[in-house]
Chain A
Amino acid sequence: MNRFERQTNLRGLGIKGQNKLRNAAVLVVGAGGLGCPAMIYLAASGVGKIAILDGDRISVSNLNRQVLFGRGDEGQLKAEVAAKHLTDQYCDSEYLSLPFFLTSENAAEIMGDYDLILDCSDNFPTRYLINDTCVLLGKPFIQGAIYEDEGQVAVFNLSQKGQASCHYRDLYPEPPAAGLIPDCNKTGVLGVLPGVIGTLQASEAIKIITHRGISLADNILFVNLYSNENYLMEIRPKTDSRAKMPSDLEELRSWNYQIEPKTGMEVSWSVARNWLRNDPEKVVLIDVREPQETPRLNHPTSLSVPMSHIEKQQGKLEKYKRILFFCSSGQRSLLAANKMADQLKGCELYSIKGGISQSDSPINASEKWKRN
């Protein structure tokens, strides 16, 4: 008898499925409320290699839900304590502690080593970074997320019949403005909710690794523990969702995912057009793309101030009342608006959401802009 007997006996799993688990390498990003239960079940099921990435330390307020930790662990690194606890319990798997945070500089290198990623993080910048890295690397990932008594689970970017399933940006193309969606530090949470959602993430991981069962690819499941309601929906690919993310891994490394837009800092091209029409002397469009990036915009109220030189251009910009930064996707322009906020205190700074790729940009809707 071995410790996997009850699952190798399961119809459709067998020794073959167990070997697939043994040969699998899974990266868990976030050793918190979702990551702890997910890791316990992955380790218990015999997943051969589990890496635990989290730069955070254990605090006493974690203990109602982060069930790998206990009194006495406070102040220690979550990744290290989790790896030690799992090694003590199931020494037949390999655990790797990665006690730091995921960044755009390290994401591709780390994630490239694993078959499957579990997004057990607790913030939008990390969720978008995991999504974009997985899409560019062609890796599947399983996302869990919670709010008060509700949770979401989805399998993204899973290759099925040679085609990748939907990803997070097909559902939510861009991160919400900072502070609009409170996290559980503000709203409170019962430990059982991430327990259920993290366990569902582990269940999806086991299904994908063993090719047994119907995965949540192209679907999202909402679970409400307060009302006992499950709500499963089908997701469809969105044609322009790739335009919202870096085009390759090199560009990804240059993105700053930690900047979340402040409410009202992002405006659409149609708002920009109205402002330019009503007050052309005081409003300016600033193209922060580098000179070699095309298509270039030839608009009388547009100036080129590449991101690489922007900090030296205060004098050129401070005469305007409203400065509207734009780039190819809306990412660097947001960075520019944040970066220049201290230098240009007398000006209103905005970033054009979605950038030049939007259908109503002066490039794509030139007729409309000519009438301005």
Chain B
Amino acid sequence: MTIKIKAFGPIADKMNARELELDPPGNLDDLRKALHEKYPQLVHLDFAIAVDRKIIRENAPLSPGSEVALLPPFSGG
């Protein structure tokens, strides 16, 4: 079973995808590392991550079937 990644705003632009499925990395730090390797453009961008619709700032384990949202800040108004 995979995990679902949902990308928002400029993150989706940099990944050229709004959704993708990945084999579950062990935890959020592993996921960040895997994303930075695949999409080096994300390295300098500090985005928030939600797992199953809860924002999580620290490292946390990821379970198969989880939905992970990558949430950049927006500035426009």
Chain A interface (Cβ < 8 Å from any Cβ of B): 30, 32-35, 120-124, 127, 144-148, 150-152, 170-174, 176-177, 180-184, 187, 189, 194, 220, 222, 224, 227, 231-236, 238, 263-264
Contacts and interface: CB of A to CB of B under 8 A. Distances in A.
Interface in B32-54: 44-46, 48, 50, 53-54
Interface residues on B, range: 20 to 34
Contact of B48 (A123, A145, A171, A180): A171
Contacts of A183: 75-76
Given A145-B77, A181-B75, A231-B6, 6 more contacts: A32-B77, A120-B77, A146-B76, A147-B9, A176-B46, A231-B53
Contact of A145 (B46, B50, B55, B75): B75
Contacts of A194: 76-77
Given A150-B9, A182-B10, A121 B45 contact: no
Contacts of B73: 124, 145, 152, 171-172, 176, 181
Contacts of A34: 77
Interface of B: 6, 8-10, 18, 44-46, 48, 50, 53-57, 69, 71-77
B72 A181 contact: yes
A141 B63 CA distance: 35
Contacts of B10: 147, 180-182
B77 A174 contact: no
B74 A152 contact: yes
12 contacts: A33-B77, A34-B77, A35-B77, A145-B73, A147-B72, A147-B76, A170-B55, A171-B48, A171-B55, A181-B74, A189-B76, A220-B55
Nearest to B58: A238
A180 B9 contact: no
B53 A233 contact: yes
B69 A231 contact: yes
A238 B55 CA distance: 10
B74 A146 contact: yes
Nearest to B14: A180
Nearest to B46: A176
A344 B69 CA distance: 42
A84 to B, nearest CB: 22
B27 to A, nearest CB: 17
A75 B61 CA distance: 54
Nearest to A144: B77
Contact of B54 (A121, A173, A233, A238): A233
Given A171-B55, A180-B45, A233 B69 contact: yes
Nearest to A34: B77
Contacts of B44: 176-177, 180, 263-264
A180 to B, nearest CB: 6
